[in-house]
Amino acid sequence: AQTVTQSQPEMSVQEAETVTLSCTYDTSESDYYLFWYKQPPSRQMILVIRQEAYKQQNATENRFSVNFQKAAKSFSLKISDSQLGDAAMYFCAFLEPQGGSEKLVFGKGTKLTVNP
Amino acid sequence: DAMVIQNPRYQVTQFGKPVTLSCSQTLNHNVMYWYQQKSSQAPKLLFHYYDKDFNNEADTPDNFQSRRPNTSFCFLDIRSPGLGDAAMYLCATSPGQGAYNEQFFGPGTRLTVL
C-alpha cells in the first residue's frame, strides 16, 4: 500500500520569505500523480499544485513550486514570497491511476504559520 | 461557477439519532467521494461512487451508508451516530476519466454529536 509521510507537523515563516515543506512517499508504481492541497482555517481543501510522475520537469504555479525527486520518492513544496494568506494546513497526497476511480492517499499534514 | 456544495455546513445531532449529510456538484463529474476528517488529522476516505458503482473502504463502519440518486447528488447517512463520529465530513468529486485526476472538494459539513 502507498504511504505518504510529512515529517514536519508545523512550520513557520516570515512574511515575504521562502519556506519548504517536505513530503516523502512509498510506492512500487511508476505511473502516479502527486498533489499538494491547502486547507485554510475555513477548511475548504484547495489544490495548490500537481505533478505527474512521468514528467521530469518540476511543476510551478506562481509562487508555488515543487522539487520532485522520483528516485528518492520525495516531493517538497516551496512557497516563495510568503503571504499571510498562505497560512493553512498543507497536505501532500498521492494518487495512483486506476481507470478513473482513483483514491488519494494523504499525509498527516503540515501546519504553516506566516508571521507578519 | 461550477462547484461542490455541501449542506448543511454545520449539523448537530444527538447520540444515536440518524443524520444525513448532503453533497451536490455542478461539475458533472463521474466520481464522488466522502471523507471523514477529525481535528488536526488527514482526511480519511469512507467510500466513493464511480457513476452508480459504490466502492466502500474496508475499514468504514457499517454505521455509515451512502446514496447517489443521480449524477449531481450524493448523501452520507449515519444510522446511529456515536460521539466518535463527530468530525468534518468532506465531499469531493473528480472527472473519473482522462488524464486530469484532481479531486475538487466541497467546504465540508461539521458534525457535532451530543
Of A3-12, A41-50, A66-75, B83-92, least confident by mean pLDDT is A41-50
Q: Are B111 and B89 in contact (CB under 8 A)?
A: yes
* Contacting residues of B for A44, CB less than 8 Å apart: 105-108
**CA distance to partner chain A, nearest, from residue B79 (Å):** 25
DSSP per residue over A52-92, as a string?
Answer: ETT--SPPEETTEEEEEETTTTEEEEEE-S--GGG-EEEEE
* Contacting residues of B for A37, CB less than 8 Å apart: 105
- How many Å separate Cα B1 from the centre of its chain? 21
Q: What mean pLDDT is predicted for residues A37-50? A: 89
Cα–Cα dist A34/A16, whole Å = 26
Task: Determine the pLDDT at residue A36.
Answer: 97
Number of H-type helices and E-type strands within chain A: 0, 12
The overall average pLDDT reported for chain B is: 92
Cα–Cα dist B94/B105, whole Å = 9
Give A44's pLDDT tier (boundaries 50, 70, 90).
confident
* Contacting residues of B for A103, CB less than 8 Å apart: 45, 48
Residue of B nearest to A96 (CA): B101
Task: Determine the pLDDT at residue B2.
Answer: 64
Nearest-by-Cβ selection for A44 from B53, B102, B107: B107
Nearest-by-Cβ selection for A47 from B42, B97, B102: B102
Task: Determine the pLDDT at residue B39.
Answer: 86
The overall average pLDDT reported for chain A is: 92
Q: What is the pLDDT of residues A27-36, one digit of tens each?
A: 988 888 999 9
